[in-house]
């Protein structure tokens, strides 16, 4: 029987035909692998691919799943994530359906997830090909350390940043950047902490909080000498087929920051 990324054994008597995905990036991956007919449920935050979403049942938010709706849909596989979904809800889902859980903190973990999911849903060849292309794109991404300390924000009121041992942190490293915060996971950051961290660059993500141009002045007031930029959060935090677009985006960001530095 296949194991998930938490090394839990998943009991699948046959290839799943009724799949629910409760993680946006993994939903996009499943559609990329051609599982249009098999996907019967997704979250309200699953926004890609846009042309596939209107006809697929919504089962709540990633952290507020509609357990009754999921039960009614009678899935034979649920694909989830340790960080993006609530443990108590996943444990409840496990009482009536196999739940495959990913746990990803870097690019190798993302490639492993893609390939494991491919085996799980009988798309092994397609998943391996996707993983190989993503690896090739990142292998061709050549960045040198910029010696720039970055604060990457995912939330406002309160401010929350991406800390160490996160997928976002590993993607920042691909851009040649150093995380200004030594804290783990997603720490709350007040004004004093931000000023003390002395970031050279502040990146404001488009998700989960939708930072806009109007928020740049907010950070400029605290850090007048820092570079403040809006960035595409999907390319820093989505670990499925969206990674096909990430390396080129990071290369452009690297060039921009390197130019700003000099």
Task: Tell me the whole-structure pTM to 2 decimals.
Answer: 0.94
220 touches 204 (CB < 8 A) = no
Query: With 70 as the cut, is the pLDDT of residue 237 above it?
Result: yes
Q: What is the mean pLDDT of residues 28-37?
A: 97
Class of domain 19-106: alpha beta
* Fold that domain 149-261 belongs to in CATH: Rossmann fold (3.40.50)
Query: With 80 as the cut, is the pLDDT of residue 20 above it?
Result: yes
Residues contacting 31, CB < 8 A, separation 6+: 39, 48, 49, 52
Residue 67 preceded by cis peptide, ω within 30: no
Q: What is the mean pLDDT of residues 210-231?
A: 96
Model confidence band, residue 238 (pLDDT cutoffs 50, 70, 90):
very high
137 touches 244 (CB < 8 A) = yes
Model confidence band, residue 195 (pLDDT cutoffs 50, 70, 90):
very high
The DSSP code for 68 is H
Domain limits, CATH 3.40.50.1980, in the chain: 19-106, 149-261
Query: With 80 as the cut, is the pLDDT of residue 162 above it?
Result: yes
Q: What confidence score (pLDDT) does residue 262 get?
A: 59
Query: With 90 as the cut, is the pLDDT of residue 2 above it?
Result: no
Length of the chain: 262
pLDDT in tens, 35-86: 999 999 999 999 999 888 888 999 999 999 999 999 999 999 999 999 999 9
End-to-end CA distance of the chain: 54
| Arithmetic mean of pLDDT over the chain | 95
176 touches 143 (CB < 8 A) = yes
Q: What confidence score (pLDDT) does residue 142 get?
A: 87
């Amino acid at each position: 029987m296949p194991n998930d990324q938490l090394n839990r054994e998943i009991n699948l008597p046959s290839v799943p035909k009724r799949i629910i995905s409760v993680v946006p990036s993994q939903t996009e991956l499943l559609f990329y692998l051609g599982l249009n007919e098999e996907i019967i449920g997704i979250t309200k935050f699953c926004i890609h691919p846009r042309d596939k979403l209107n006809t697929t049942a919504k089962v709540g938010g990633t952290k507020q799943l509609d357990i009754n709706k999921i039960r009614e849909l009678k899935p034979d596989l649920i694909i989830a994530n340790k960080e993006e979904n609530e443990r108590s809800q996943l444990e409840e889902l496990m009482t009536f359906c196999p739940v495959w859980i990913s746990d990803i903190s870097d690019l190798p973990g993302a490639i492993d997830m893609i390939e494991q999911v491919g085996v799980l849903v009988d798309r092994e060849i397609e998943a391996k090909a996707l993983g190989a292309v993503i690896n090739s794109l990142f292998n061709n991404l050549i960045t040198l350390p910029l010696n720039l300390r970055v604060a990457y924000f995912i939330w406002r009121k309160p401010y929350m940043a991406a800390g160490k041992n996160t997928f976002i942190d590993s993607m920042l490293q691909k851009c040649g950047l150093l995380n200004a915060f030594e804290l783990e996971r997603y720490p709350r950051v007040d004004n004093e902490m931000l000023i003390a961290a002395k970031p050279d660059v502040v990146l404001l993500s488009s998700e989960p909080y939708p930072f806009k141009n109007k928020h740049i002045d907010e950070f400029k007031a605290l850090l007048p000498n820092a570079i403040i930029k809006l960035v595409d959060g999907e390319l820093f935090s989505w670990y499925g087929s969206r990674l096909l677009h990430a390396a080129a985006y990071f290369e452009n960001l690297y060039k921009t920051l390197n130019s700003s530095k000099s």
